[in-house]
Structure 1
Amino acid sequence: MKNVNISKTQALMLGITSITVTGHLLIIPVIIGYAGRDSWISLLLAIIPAILIGVTVALLSQRYPGCTMVEYSQLILGKWLGKLVVIIFLIYFLHEASLSIRGFGEFYTAAVTPRTPIFVYLIAILMLAVYAVRCGLEVIVRTNQVILVSLIPIGILASILTHKDKDYHNFLPILEDSIRPTLDGTMTLLSVYSSIFVLSMIFSFVKDTKQLKRYSVITMLILIIMFIGPVTGVVAIYGEERAQGLYFPTFLILRDIQMGALQRLDILGILLWSLGSFAKVTLFLYALALGLAQLFKVEDHKILVIPIAALLSIVSIINSEDLIGIYRFLTDYYPYYATFIGFILPLVLLIISQFRKPGAKLEGRNNDV
């Protein structure tokens, strides 16, 4: 077995890619559905809690260096209660990955190739993710670096090209419908930011965790910035009423861009969500495989990758009958359960850990990544 070390930047770039893709593809319509023209206020209100989420994950990893979430949960809570909490986290990872896979498939069948069965896209992205995970963590982080560097210019280009079409009067009046819808939008943002807890399975391989808290704060601020354009741009271009009826608003913005001979840039949106969805599914598939291997003392986590991928394909299909059902779940349930598991539970772990003596790294840890 070999020890693999990655940098803080590489680990946090994985979090940026996975959160940005899910947020832009599936969560922004939910935020706008709640807060409408006040979505930008929801984003501002999410800054402090988002930073707290990043700090919580970083502090847990710093307090238990070299340990994954599976390991330090048992050190903090004891063997049996710790295992129960680990199972809850792993189920959360499973469902988060299945939502991304289903969202990817629904995007293609609804906006790109309606006649192609959705199962084709689910199998395609899972096959690629399985191959990447079996190649190891170093391959995953290096591939993600290339993907993220490719995605950022697309977002900047879209923001620049659509600036002339934006009417910021669409944001007036402010808080006309009270602050409750705005707070609901903030809760939805926190739910997607909470998924950065998946990095608790990655930080144990970071070479130096001394400044991990600072890097995590910077990462969460970058994520806030990366949501400003998509959240405000949709309302500024289409107005509140139309924006609240769109399923893939950021993709429509790219499709509607017209600047001389430069038209129909929806291919950039397809590229953005294809690469980003692949990065997220790969990250969560890796976390699931490693987590289950550590929980059940399996020596090589790679033998679990294909069975987990098969399970993900099934869960992705049974998540909901259609896209409307998925958005109903994301609106009514996801903000609360995801925030509780991805933010509140880790925060409870951190608080309890303050009363526990930091433990040494567990024996038998799987290092073959």
Structure 2
Amino acid sequence: MQQIGKNQLSILIIVFLIGSTPLFELGIKAKHDAWLAMILAAAAGLLLTVMYVHLQRRAPEAELAELYKMHFGRWIGGGIGLLYAVWFAYESMRNVRDVGELTMMALLTLTPKWIVMLLIISAAAYTVSKGLEVFVRVVQLLFPIVAASYFFIILLLFIARLPDPQHLLPILENGLAPVVKAAFPDLLSFPFGQMVIFLVFWKHVSEKKIIGRASYWSMIGVSAFLVFMNMLVMCVLGPELSAITALPLLEVVQLIRLANFLERLDVVVTLLLFIGLYVKMTALYMASVFTLNSVTGIAYRYCVMPIGAVIYASSFLEPNNTYHIWIGLDITLKIVPLFQVVLPFLMLVVGVRKRYKTN
């Protein structure tokens, strides 16, 4: 069985949860209180992570689908596992489509979308075919690039004196209700609730005892970073411009002008965009393969290409980007709490009086 270490787990959680999240101004429904909505959703996400870790500790050698079969029986649990495999593939498909749309919007405007998406899904399929250990090593190599790029952007923004804290005021002007409405279910579902995917990967961590500690601290660190980036974008653009901009961080970076020399840093944001979407897409793709393998018993290597083909083909079902965004924000985020909150909570309740073997 493939194994990953404590530090590898932490890096995977950090890069996966960050993904492309800082590129967008999430929680903008709360206007200048969007960062408060992020804090609220992050706190709820940490509670969800505590629940996931508790479930994993019941059977440290079990993956997500195996946990459901242990709690609900072979047929019901297996059916739920298949639903998760489909959901993971669907979420991966959304990231494939995002790559295609955003590449055409911000970088290669004349390149056919199907070519861009074919290239990114091919890269993901190759990575998935090599297994979890290889994927995590790739993420380890990408992590310093991501960290250095964000540090570089933040440093230049402050050197250029672009952030204006006045854009964050007044705090809670319209009360707490808009903040809560922005946080739940949307911000909880994306990105914090996506921690549920690690119920698939925790089985493969070599040091089972440190899973909880590593996951909690990684979650807290990512949450603090995402809240900070949310506040930073808001301080530069303000609530009105943030709300109407497709890629707020790209807009922010385009404002950097230093000594008539350092400008047009779009390439840095584009790099972060591709890395974030690639890691998230590949992790979800791999989780779908692991889950299908666990439920059906079909060999891992035989699941990779069919799932990849389904992901690629289904990425064309949405006719345009407007429809794609509407499905993602108004439909998907309202359904995914079933997989992130409801079903894991039912499993938690069902298993209260049960004990499970660890092998």
Q: Per the shorter chain, which TM-score range?
A: over 0.9
Taking structure 2 as the reference length, the TM-score comes to 0.93
- Corresponding residue of 2:27: 31
- Given that 2:96 and 2:281 are in contact with CA atoms closer than 8 Å, whether structure 1 keeps it comes out as yes
Once the two structures are superposed, residues 214-244 of structure 1 have per-residue CA deviations (whole angstroms, 9 ceiling, x without a partner) of 2211111112122123311222111111110
- Given that 2:41 and 2:187 are in contact with CA atoms closer than 8 Å, whether structure 1 keeps it comes out as yes
- Corresponding residue of 1:136: 131
Once the two structures are superposed, residues 14-43 of structure 1 have per-residue CA deviations (whole angstroms, 9 ceiling, x without a partner) of 232222124234xx34521x1110011112
- Corresponding residue of 1:21: 19
Q: 2:111 aligns with which of 107, 112, 116?
A: 116
- Given that 1:30 and 1:330 are in contact with CA atoms closer than 8 Å, whether structure 2 keeps it comes out as no
- CA change 1:184–1:114 in 2 (3 A) is farther
- Corresponding residue of 2:311: 312
- CA change 1:226–1:334 in 2 (3 A) is farther
- Given that 2:25 and 2:233 are in contact with CA atoms closer than 8 Å, whether structure 1 keeps it comes out as no
Distance 1:201 1:66 in 2: 10
Runs of 5+ unmatched residues, structure 1: 362-369
1:174 correspondence with 2:171 = yes
1:46: how far off? Answer: 2.1
- Corresponding residue of 2:335: 337
1:7 correspondence with 2:5 = yes
Q: 1:355 aligns with which of 334, 349, 353?
A: 353
1:99: how far off? Answer: 1.1
1:360: how far off? Answer: 4.2
1:73: how far off? Answer: 0.8
Q: Secondary structure of the equivalent of 2:244?
A: coil
Distance 1:324 1:106 in 2: 10
Distance 2:324 2:257 in 1: 31
Once the two structures are superposed, residues 168-214 of structure 1 have per-residue CA deviations (whole angstroms, 9 ceiling, x without a partner) of 11122222334332113212221121112111111111111112212
1:44 correspondence with 2:39 = yes
Structure 1, 122-131 or 279-288: larger mean CA deviation: 279-288
- Corresponding residue of 2:276: 276
- Given that 1:30 and 1:327 are in contact with CA atoms closer than 8 Å, whether structure 2 keeps it comes out as no
- Corresponding residue of 2:205: 206
- Corresponding residue of 1:80: 75
Number of aligned residue pairs: give it. 354
Distance 1:347 1:13 in 2: 27
1:50: how far off? Answer: 1.5
Distance 2:136 2:180 in 1: 34
Q: What is the Cα-based RMSD across aligned positions, in Å?
A: 1.7
Q: Secondary structure of the equivalent of 1:173?
A: coil
Once the two structures are superposed, residues 20-78 of structure 1 have per-residue CA deviations (whole angstroms, 9 ceiling, x without a partner) of 124234xx34521x111001111221232121122222222221111100111100111
- Given that 1:191 and 1:334 are in contact with CA atoms closer than 8 Å, whether structure 2 keeps it comes out as no
- Given that 2:13 and 2:215 are in contact with CA atoms closer than 8 Å, whether structure 1 keeps it comes out as no
Distance 1:155 1:325 in 2: 30
Q: Secondary structure of the equivalent of 2:315?
A: helix
- Given that 2:11 and 2:140 are in contact with CA atoms closer than 8 Å, whether structure 1 keeps it comes out as yes
Distance 1:360 1:75 in 2: 11
Q: Secondary structure of the equivalent of 1:174?
A: coil
1:329: how far off? Answer: 2.6
Q: Secondary structure of the equivalent of 1:263?
A: coil
Calculate percent identity across the aligned residue pairs.
Answer: 23
- CA change 1:57–1:9 in 2 (3 A) is farther
Once the two structures are superposed, residues 128-166 of structure 1 have per-residue CA deviations (whole angstroms, 9 ceiling, x without a partner) of 111111122111011101112210121122122112111
Distance 2:226 2:316 in 1: 28
Taking structure 1 as the reference length, the TM-score comes to 0.91
